[in-house]
Amino acid sequence: MGDLFHRNRQLLLLTVLLVVVWGLSSLLTLPRLEDPLITQRNALVITTLPGATPERVEALITKPLEDALLELEEVDALSSTSSTGSSVIAVVLKDGVRQVAPAWSKVRSKIDDATPLLPPEATDPEFRDGNVGASALIVGLTWELPGPADLGLLSRLADDLQTRLRAIPGTNKVEISGEPEEEIRVEIGARELARLGLTARDLSERIAASDAKEAAGQVRSERGDFLLQLDGALDSLERIRSIPLTVGADGASARLAQVAEVSRGVRLPAAQLALVHGQPAVVVAATVAPSVRIDHWANDARQLLEEVRATLPAGLGLHTVLDQSRYVEERLDGVIGNLVTGSLLVVAVSVLMLGGRAALVVGAALPLTALMVLGCLRVLEVPLHQMSATGLVIALGLLIDNAIVVVEELQQRLRAGTPPGEAVRQTSRYLLVPMLAATLTTVLSFVPIATSAGGTGEFIGTIGLTVILALACSLLLSLTVILAVAARLHRWQPLGPNVRWWEQGLAIPALTGPYRAGLQRVLRHPWQGVALCLVLPVLGFACFASLERQFFPPTNRDQFQIELRLPQQSAIARTEALALEARPLIRRHPSVEDVHWFLGESAPQFFYNVIADQENAPHYAQGLVQLRSAEGLRDTIRSLQQSLDRRFPDAQVLVKQLEQGPPFAAPIELRLQGPDLQQLRRIGDDLRRRLAQIEAVTHTSASLSEALPRLALAVDEEQARRTGLDNRAIARQLQAGLDGAVGGSIQEGTTTLPVRVQVAAAQRDGPGQLAALDLVAPGGGGTIPLDALAALQLEPELASITRRDGQRINAVRAYLAAGTLPSSVLAEFRRQLEHDGWQLPAAVQLSYGGEADARGDAVGSLLSTAGVLMVLMTATLVLSFRSFRLAALIASVAVLSVGLAALALQLSGSLFGFTAILGTLGLIGLAVNDSIVVLNALRTDPAAARGDTAASTAVVLHATRHVLATTITTVVGFLPLMLDPTGFWPPLAIAVSGGLVGATALALFYVPAAHALLMRPAAEA
């Protein structure tokens, strides 16, 4: 193949041109994202049963739905929370489910099947799948005038902006946060209702009866058909005010406006609010399709925002909360900078090791391979993001190996006087099998990364894919284009008799003698050589137990989040007051630019793995803190955590750094499972107390720890039945009066405003007013004060009941100070339990969630295919060498390299996290490449193959330059990742580089010594 390209110059030039054009066009058109898209395997099922206790919600709503969902084999886990009037079930699909749409269809079908089993007063279960990826743009429309904010106006402007953003090509989804629910409110006094002999529900039905929006039929004639429509549909406040009512026993009539106040406004209390720059706001968040270049989309969006900003009324603002394109550009610029730096370092080392002309050819392999990989990514529809781009950086030092081997081997044949064409043919034949074997073993070591299932696999999978593509492209180009170019350059510029170092590479004769002597000693005493080479790997294996473990390192983004939780009975007005009070305290820190709050619900998805699971939670607020820079991020978070804890001792305030990788609810989570809620609560409180005593723990929580005050209404049933009422009728009257009853609506364009009837606010503000409410007896039986039929008393009630996979649990969670390793805290906690002799009752089980669970699942998924791939790697070696013994020798190098990686991590003080595991897996394939080259050279030399010491020494000396060149270029290629300021990549780079340096020593000393031992019987014979 290489000879074809060498003979046909036109084919060579056209191939290079094709690769360049293909790669550059792909670079310009590839979609650009900040992080990989993770398939959404999470969804929520939300059902309400107004007024029901957590126990009733669990029995009547949660359990029937769970029983139906647990029948699906695609479901991995169910987590549910049953609270007063609400059931929320979190559904998680198995990692192996790659096509999630059919699975979610099955989930919806099961929900539909279970819906008839629910109480009739319950709402239909709402299926809500999670967001896919982070928002590309988040903007807030703010009210900046004195006085109460007109949230209805902001909402209408947000709806218009939502429509216009959807019209931008490439927009995927646009959602609104903090949007109020506008309605027509009919407030009537309890005495007026009693005088009318109506309940709030009765009055709402009267209003609905006046809303003639239904067709009255068709009039058909020979001239045509006419749709008959009644005039009088509710279309304005005046129309509602003019609805006639019958008043009193004499049948007198009155207009609704005479007995009730009709107004337009937002429903109070608000279910969710937003504060942008401390001002009331309605927030619009847009996501883009994964096939779109986000920078191009962002330019169109910014232009639209300028147009909208110019037309806003005075006193309203439009502020950008998040522009993801900025982070995408910064992330990719950093990765591309690493790529360029690594390339320059690799070329510089190539000049030193190989000489200028050889380095020129080797250096050409870098851009050609990178461009070819970009073309492949375009074909495979893989976007350009930090993982795919970093895969290219990782591949830098690996893909150069093939080019170095080819150029070195070709130059030696050319210098021996072989004609260029023949040298190309001999080189390609000689190197095809060993290079193919070395490439296959390396590819197989990255296959687990590329094929890992679940969120973790989707997050890091493109690293493995990009490296595999780079290795394959490098092999193909090296045996064709690079081989042909190297032969042509040699013919154009033959070496003269006086060769200088920059022409054929740097040589240090002073080191050659000691190195040769060392090789000879190892080959004469191979057992000593093998034993000496085992020292460092064994030390590395011994270090494994002491390595600090971490799942993924946190990001150093110039943002972080704050979660604020008050007692669950807290009103959203109190949550808003605390958020506003916290804002100046947060902004007082010099690193903080501003904080934006989202109350009653989770914030829009501003980072790809932030869990958005809060809905209808008036006691909850989530803050997005924007920093001026990420410098000193950890210190800023620790300082703010302490300040906010001191300022708000009655609230749980969590200042949280953004994490990388799949999300988890808390760093440490203990799941207590058992049937007895009180027992689970007692044990959970004990564990929570023990966790709180650990210094690094900032806050703890338990899902069964909080009790809410409940107003219990004890009805005198005998007295109630004398008046024609029963418990259910009383509950329905009270609910309609307090929460309101909807009847009729006003249509404004595509917006429907419901008409809600409820008792005047002043008469439902507290227990005293509630007791004085009048109940309407059926059949004209008059009115009865509530306190004449029932007594009010305050009782404690469990705030919520949590379940997992159909079993009751108490989830105890611990939150840690920024920079604290969850694994070390969990280990300390376990030591405490063991020291105290702590034991669980027989009926209770304990399992671990949080980071430990996520790490275990991710590592298990990553290593699930490792066994099969090791067999394939061994088979590749056996078939390449046609010897089980030689294949076992190379396999032993792969195993020993793992110990060398551990030793490198220990000496550098790096954490053994997921990226270090990735590096170790990649190292297994890389470590054997040089050993394969050395062993192949020993095997093909007749004297060395028989175990001759002198011949073996000469062969290893001959291969040393190539081995050192490939090792040094690989290590310097990883240098930018070692120095990466984010802290994400250094463990991977250190594991690979440190292990590879040790593996080079194994290739040059261990492999010859072991080969000598294996060949000794043949030599003696």
Give the Cα separation of 741 and 669 in Å (integer): 42
pLDDT band at 493 (very low <50, low <70, confident <90, very high): very low
DSSP β-ladder status, 279-288 and 273-276: antiparallel
Query: What's the chain's average pLDDT?
Result: 85
DSSP β-ladder status, 244-247 and 224-229: unpaired
Q: What distances in angstroms separate CA 148 from CA 152, 262, 279, 408, one per listed residue?
A: 11, 20, 11, 78
| 20 pLDDT higher than 90 | yes
Q: What distances in angstroms separate CA 919 from CA 102, 498, 507, 547, 998, one per listed residue?
A: 35, 43, 32, 15, 15
Contacts of 749 (CB under 8 A, 6+ apart): none
Structure-token match 């080189």, residue found: 427
Question: Which tokens go with 513?
Answer: 């003698």
Give the Cα separation of 551 and 855 in Å (integer): 6
| 700 pLDDT higher than 90 | yes
pLDDT tens for 588-638 read 999 999 999 999 999 998 998 888 878 888 999 999 999 999 888 999 999
Phi, psi of 462 (to 5 degrees): -70, -20
Give the Cα separation of 596 and 322 in Å (integer): 11
Structure-token match 């270049």, residue found: 293
Q: What distances in angstroms separate CA 482 from CA 24, 195, 256, 742, 1018, one per listed residue?
A: 20, 97, 89, 77, 39
pLDDT tens for 541-557 read 998 888 888 878 888 88
Taken in order of first residue, the domains within the chain and their CATH numbers are 182-216+225-266+708-798 (3.30.2090.10), 508-553+852-1021 (1.20.1640.10), 554-659 (3.30.70.1430), 665-706+807-848 (3.30.70.1320)
The helix, strand and coil proportions of the chain, stated in percent and rounded to the nearest 5, come to: 55, 20, 25
Of 528, 440, 474, which is closest to residue 932 (Cα–Cα)?
440
| 1020 pLDDT higher than 70 | no
pLDDT of residue 1021: 45
Give the Cα separation of 802 and 571 in Å (integer): 22
| 3 pLDDT higher than 50 | yes
SS (H, E, C) 791-857: EEEEEEEECEEEEECCEEEEEEEEEECCCCCHHHHHHHHHHHHHHHCCCCCCCCEEEECHHHHHHHH
* Structural contact between residues 305 and 139, judged by C-beta atoms closer than 8 angstroms: yes
Structure-token match 């300028």, residue found: 306
pLDDT tens for 85-119 read 889 999 999 888 888 889 999 999 999 999 999 99
Contacts of 801 (CB under 8 A, 6+ apart): 54, 55, 57, 58, 62, 81, 82, 83, 677, 704, 808
The CA-based angle 572-573-577, given to 5 degrees, is: 115
Q: Which residues of 237-247 are buried (b: 16+ CB within 10 A; e: fewer)?
A: eebbeebebeb
Q: Give the SS3 label for residue 910.
A: coil
DSSP β-ladder status, 592-600 and 617-627: antiparallel
- Residue 293 DSSP symbol: B
Phi, psi of 199 (to 5 degrees): -95, 170
| 1017 pLDDT higher than 80 | no
The mean pLDDT value for 144-155 works out to: 90
pLDDT of residue 499: 56
Q: Give the SS3 label for residue 90.
A: strand
pLDDT band at 950 (very low <50, low <70, confident <90, very high): confident
Omega before 584 cis (within 30°)?
Answer: no
Of 150, 155, 213, 201, which is closest to residue 745 (Cα–Cα)?
213
Number of H helices, E strands in the chain: 35, 32
Q: Give the SS3 label for residue 650.
A: coil
Contacts of 254 (CB under 8 A, 6+ apart): 244, 245, 247
pLDDT of residue 403: 85
Q: Give the SS3 label for residue 594.
A: strand
The mean pLDDT value for 650-675 works out to: 90
pLDDT band at 286 (very low <50, low <70, confident <90, very high): very high
| 898 pLDDT higher than 70 | yes
Contacts of 994 (CB under 8 A, 6+ apart): 900, 901, 903, 904, 905, 907, 908
SS (H, E, C) 191-240: HHHHHHCCCHHHHHHHHHHCCCCCEEEEEEECCEEEEEECCCCCCCHHHH
Residue 130: exposure state from Cβ atoms within 10 A (0-12, 13-18, ≥19): middle
pLDDT tens for 825-850 read 999 999 999 999 999 998 899 999 98
pLDDT tens for 511-541 read 777 888 888 888 888 898 889 999 999 999 9
| 949 pLDDT higher than 50 | yes
Q: Is pLDDT larger for residue 211 or for residue 231?
A: 211
pLDDT of residue 600: 92
Give the Cα separation of 304 and 298 in Å (integer): 10
pLDDT band at 492 (very low <50, low <70, confident <90, very high): very low
The pTM is what? 0.84
pLDDT of residue 746: 86
* Structural contact between residues 519 and 957, judged by C-beta atoms closer than 8 angstroms: yes
Structure-token match 């001239």, residue found: 223
Phi, psi of 602 (to 5 degrees): -70, 155
Helix (H) or strand (E) holding 543: helix 526-543
pLDDT of residue 247: 66
Contacts of 799 (CB under 8 A, 6+ apart): 54, 83, 84, 568, 706, 707, 708
pLDDT band at 807 (very low <50, low <70, confident <90, very high): very high
Identity of the amino acid at 391: G
Give the Cα separation of 634 and 981 in Å (integer): 13
Give the Cα separation of 500 and 506 in Å (integer): 9
> What percentage of the chain reaches a pLDDT higher than 90?
33
The mean pLDDT value for 363-384 works out to: 90
* Structural contact between residues 73 and 97, judged by C-beta atoms closer than 8 angstroms: no
The CA-based angle 543-547-549, given to 5 degrees, is: 155
* Structural contact between residues 618 and 579, judged by C-beta atoms closer than 8 angstroms: no
Q: Which ranges in 626-778 belong to alpha helices (H)? A: 633-647, 677-692, 717-722, 727-739, 767-771
* Structural contact between residues 241 and 223, judged by C-beta atoms closer than 8 angstroms: no
pLDDT band at 58 (very low <50, low <70, confident <90, very high): very high
* Structural contact between residues 788 and 723, judged by C-beta atoms closer than 8 angstroms: no
pLDDT tens for 214-259 read 766 777 777 777 777 677 778 888 888 888 887 665 666 788 888 8
Residue 127: exposure state from Cβ atoms within 10 A (0-12, 13-18, ≥19): middle
Q: Which ranges in 30-136 belong to alpha helices (H)? A: 54-57, 63-69, 100-114
Starting at the edge strand found earlier in the chain, the sheet holding 741-748 runs: 260-266, 182-188, 751-759, 741-748
Structure-token match 């490792």, residue found: 866
pLDDT of residue 318: 95
The answer to which of 232-241, 311-320, 731-740 has the lowest mean pLDDT is 731-740
Q: What distances in angstroms separate CA 616 from CA 42, 84, 236, 706, 752, one per listed residue?
A: 19, 12, 30, 18, 21
pLDDT band at 275 (very low <50, low <70, confident <90, very high): very high
Count of residues making up the chain = 1021
End-to-end CA distance of the chain: 41
Q: Which residues pair with 253 in a beta bridge?
A: 246
DSSP string, 954-1019: HHHHHHHHHHHHHHHHHHHHHHHHHT-TTSSSHHHHHHHHHHHHHHHHIIIIIHHHHHHHHHHHHH
pLDDT of residue 793: 77
Give the Cα separation of 387 and 467 in Å (integer): 11
pLDDT tens for 413-435 read 887 788 888 888 888 888 888 88
